[in-house]
Structure 1
């Protein structure tokens, strides 16, 4: 390992020489799992994501620092995340018996009408926050991160920067995801912990950075968006569905309203949600409205103006230091995507 390039909460980005003609690579280490590498250390790397050129995973991942092992876990906590993998992590779950919050959550059963904004991709998070906080500054918003993408919340620079800027109050990692301010076993207890422990006024639910898709109707990790709608509804929350919209994606199935949203909300979500339809201009806006209309048989369609949201997003990007990007496309390269997410935040602010 040659040098530390940069670091953020829970993660250290390194420059590592791998020998031969391959030169150096960017690598990412999670000190809580593998220890903290120092210049001159030998590190063991997993280069799968790097070799595949994954958009959100273009790093070699540090598996171990053989000569500088992390300290043994000392507790408390009996929840094991990333279970039965070499890097399984033991954490304290907010809902487990040894938690100081266990009694609070043991019989908890209601979100008391709290808005729960559900999105397909992690990249929607800062845009949703921008739309919400522009209308309701100071609102306490908590992110519930599901395990369809990255498992460690530490992978996300957005989370670190949003918290540092005061835009995001806390993160709850659920399922196999870990590394949040609070840990929980399921989306259900994650939502309850966000409300009752973290004091959320509103919650955003989305998978961590990255997602998995196979180009089939059902084979994508974003089906969890529909399941999150069901969880929010059964707990007496107020589910608000953010549409995944794109004008710049090269794949036809994601142009207009993505098939991910149409399947997750139209087939997986059995409970009624408020589906936010952004009032986008021109023929593309008409196409989005037409595609979203199919969801009106099951859900309430809420048409939200996007006036001023472009400026809101650009200002949030500058003020928070967060890079707005989805699938490698920046704000002005796929503006409708970010406007749709921000419109969901704008609607959530209106019902707080």
Structure 2
């Protein structure tokens, strides 16, 4: 169950449209989801969920401001037709973007296993109509993603969408297919889909967040979208299950009955993809390491600089090449 504490906000450290980071009276740092509880001010007494710090989590290892005591913060009133984060005390009312489409023909969709790969793809393809759809397999609030905020500031994101219980995108979608349909209606046909920050793995074959990709990819393919999976691979990951091609990718492909496109660098083995019933696409990788080095902050994957992992960059670069429609 959650752990709670009551502290006072002593300083606003950082603020953007939908998130604040604040220093608390115990010298710790917490984040505030402004579209959930409103904006805090210095001097506010707040109830803080401390569980993530107590458990020493990774990406999500920060205090969360749960409530402002005395309702001293400024809160906007929202109206909408659907509820996300349903049945939690923080459930929020939102308006979905709906489409009358009955298929997804014309959509070119690339699935990524890790959130950091979205930034690598965006920095590499530099498309004015680049769309990112965030699923609810990891973090639910898009506001938590510093990468998304950075990509927006750099002009590398055309539009964002959040599907399922995830919220905070410019397009709120009921599910992944309806989100892709809404993006198509808005003129965005090249779409990257991935979870938000905080991918969960358990050191078991089936126990990881991104396995949801299998069902999403099969559904989108059945509805007429052109779908590919970005291969997660590494030469610097010390864990055998993720060194080389990650077992996550192989498990996702094994669980996906509909054949998917799997971009890989020219010259890399493709037999394993064929054996799993999918379509290898050998492409010349875009220069991911060069592009991500130009981002304002160091792009890391699992705590390591992505640009220092040549194998990872090569596979991501091939996926980026596929997304822009070049063989």
TM-score w.r.t. length of structure 2: 0.91
Deviation (angstroms), 1:307: 6.4
Deviations 1:181-231 (A, max 9, x none): 01111111011111113x213000001111112211111111112223213
Q: Tell me the number of residue pairs that the alignment of Structure 1 and Structure 2 aligns.
A: 317
**How big is the shift at 1:350?**
2.9
Counterpart selection for 1:29 from 27, 32, 36: 32
Matched, 1:172 2:176: no
Whole-Å separation in 1 of the counterparts to 2:287 and 2:36:
43
> Which residue, 41, 64, 72 being the options, matches 1:61?
64
Answer yes or no: is 1:330 the counterpart of 2:305. Answer: yes
Q: Indicate whether 1:71 and 2:75 are aligned.
A: yes
1:270 and 2:257 aligned: yes
Do the aligned residues in 1 keep the contact of 2:285 with 2:320 (CA within 8 Å)?
no
Q: CA deviation at 1:170?
A: 1.0
Note if contact 2:111-2:228 (Cα within 8 Å) is conserved in structure 1.
yes
* Matching residue of 2:273: 295
> How large is the Cα RMSD of the aligned pairs?
2.0
Correspondence for 2:228: 240
SS at match of 2:324: helix
Q: In the TM superposition, what is the alpha-carbon distance from 1:69 to its structure 2 partner?
A: 4.8
Counterpart of 2:293 in structure 1 is: 314
Q: Tell me how far apart the structure 2 counterparts of residues 163 and 217 of structure 1 sit (CA, whole Å).
A: 35
Q: How far apart are residue 8 of structure 1 and its match?
A: 2.5
Per the alignment, in what secondary structure is the counterpart of residue 254 of structure 1?
A: coil
Instruction: Decide whether the 8 Å contact of 1:127 with 1:339 is kept in 2.
Output: no
Judged with a 3 Å threshold, the aligned counterparts in structure 2 of structure 1 residues 33 and 330 are, in CA distance, closer, same or farther, namely same
Structure 1 residue ranges without an equivalent (≥5): 19-23, 96-104, 280-285
Asked if the contact 2:289–2:308 (Cα under 8 Å) also holds between the matched residues in 1, the reply is no
Give distance in 2, aligned partners of 1:12 and 1:323. Answer: 21
| 1:219-270 per-position Cα deviation (integer Å, ceiling 9, x unaligned) | 11111122232132122111011001122223221111111110112x2222
Separation of aligned partners in 1, 2:293 and 2:207: 34
8 Å CA contact retained: 1:146, 1:177: yes
Does the C-alpha gap of structure 1 residues 313 and 74 become closer, same or farther in structure 2, counting only changes over 3 Å?
A: closer
Q: Is the 8 A contact 1:240 1:276 kept in 2?
A: yes
Query: Could you tell me which residue of structure 2 aligns to residue 21 of structure 1?
Result: none
Q: Distance in 2 between matches of 1:152 and 1:260?
A: 24
Matches of 2:286 and 2:223, distance apart in 1:
33
* Other structure's SS at 1:33 match: helix
TM-score by length of 1: 0.84
What runs of 5+ residues in structure 2 fail to find an aligned partner? 1-8
Residues 285 and 316, structure 2, Cα contact 8 Å, conserved in 1:
no
Match of 2:284 in 1: 305
User: Does the Cα contact within 8 Å between 2:221 and 2:258 map onto a contact in 1?
Assistant: yes
